[in-house]
A = this chain, B = another copy of it.
Amino acid sequence: MTRTMASIGTKWKPIIIYTIGKRTIRFGQIYALMGIISKKVLTEQLKELVEDGIISREKFDELPPRVEYTLTPKGIDLLRILNMLTIWNDKHNPEPAQK
């Protein structure tokens, strides 16, 4: 359990996994969609997620460079659980409308 949390129990990783979702997506898109994270941190977290086998990274030798990220089967399994968390949240939170 403690180890499990090390892979995903962080501020950013669940959000990154959620943002990638069931598609192939480029670095810049993740960066743009998340809006608030810095490139440095995003890069670090992505690297760790790759090491943990949750996402895969494919680099194309083009100019300008292109790098695509995709959830692995392990990552998709995890995404399912994260989806349950949002359901859990919706169920128990009064939904503050705005703000």
Contact = CB atoms under 8 A, between A and B. Distances in A.
Interface of A: 1-5, 7-11, 14-15, 18, 53, 74, 77-78, 81-82, 84-86, 88-89, 91-93
Contact of A9 (B11, B81, B92, B93): B11
A92 B84 CA distance: 19
Given A1-B14, A2-B15, A81-B85, 4 more contacts: A1-B15, A3-B93, A9-B9, A78-B88
A44 to B, nearest CB: 16
A89 B9 contact: no
A78 to B, nearest CB: 6
A88 B53 CA distance: 13
